[in-house]
């Protein structure tokens, strides 16, 4: 899944969802950063997800 704003074909787009699901058997880890929930996977970077959280302050 490649977004037009990414020029490099190897760039990975993060999925933004209302609810995220992690599968630990595939190496997924749930992490909370800056008030948002993320699913990260070092084995398969295409499995990145972010749950919609509070708006960021400028």
pLDDT in tens, 24-50: 999 999 999 988 999 999 999 999 999
- The residue ranking higher by pLDDT, 41 or 14, is 41
Is-above-0.75 flag for pTM? no
Q: How many helices (H) and strands (E) does the chain have?
A: 0, 4
Mean pLDDT of 9-35: 84
Separation of alpha carbons 45 and 48, rounded Å: 6
Other C-beta atoms lying within 10 Å of the C-beta of residue 53: 14
The order of strands in the sheet holding 36-40 is 15-17, 49-51, 36-40, 29-33
Q: Give pLDDT, residue 25.
A: 94
* CB proximity list for 53: less than 8 A, separation 6 or greater: 34, 35, 36, 37
Percentage of residues in the chain with pLDDT exceeding 70? 79
């Amino acid at each position: 899944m490649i977004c037009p704003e990414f020029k490099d074909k190897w760039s990975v787009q993060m999925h933004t969802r209302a609810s995220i699901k992690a599968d630990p058997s595939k190496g997924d880890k749930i992490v909370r950063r800056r008030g948002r929930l993320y699913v990260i996977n070092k084995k398969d970077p295409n499995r990145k997800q972010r749950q919609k959280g509070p708006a960021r302050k400028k």
